Copies of this chain bind each other. A is one copy, B any other.
Amino acid sequence: MIRGKSQDAHGRLIYDYFKGRPLGVEIVERDDGFVNSGAGGAYLSKYKDWPARERSAIRFAKGRVLDIGCGEGRHSLFLQEKGFDVTGVDISPLAVRVCRARGLKDGRLMSTDDIRPSLGTFDTILMLGNNFGLLSNKIKARVLLRRFLKMMNPKGRIIAESLEIYKRPVDPAHRRYHLMNMRRGRMPGQVRIRIRYRSLATPWFDYLLASKKEMKQILKGTGWRAKLFFSSKGPSYIAIIERE
Chain A residues within 8 Å of B, Cβ to Cβ: 24-25, 27, 32-37, 173, 196-201
Contact = CB atoms under 8 A, between A and B. Distances in A.
Most interface-central of A33, A35, A197 (chain B CB within 10 A): A35
Contacts of A34: 198-199
Given A24-B36, A37-B37, 17 more contacts: A24-B35, A24-B37, A25-B35, A25-B36, A25-B37, A27-B27, A27-B35, A33-B196, A33-B199, A33-B200, A33-B201, A34-B198, A35-B196, A35-B198, A36-B198, A173-B198, A173-B199
A200 B196 CA distance: 17
Contacts of A201: 33
Contacts of A196: 33, 35
24 contacts: A24-B35, A24-B36, A24-B37, A25-B25, A25-B27, A25-B35, A25-B36, A25-B37, A27-B27, A27-B35, A32-B199, A33-B196, A33-B199, A33-B200, A33-B201, A34-B198, A34-B199, A35-B196, A35-B197, A35-B198, A36-B198, A37-B37, A173-B198, A173-B199
Contacts of A33: 196, 199-201
Nearest to A196: B35
Most interface-central of A37, A196, A197, A198 (chain B CB within 10 A): A198
Contacts of A24: 35-37
A105 to B, nearest CB: 34
Contacts of A25: 25, 27, 35-37
A22 to B, nearest CB: 9
A47 to B, nearest CB: 27
A239 to B, nearest CB: 26
A25 B36 CA distance: 6
A38 to B, nearest CB: 9
Contacts of A32: 199
A8 to B, nearest CB: 14
Nearest to A22: B171
Contacts of A37: 24-25, 37
A169 B124 CA distance: 46
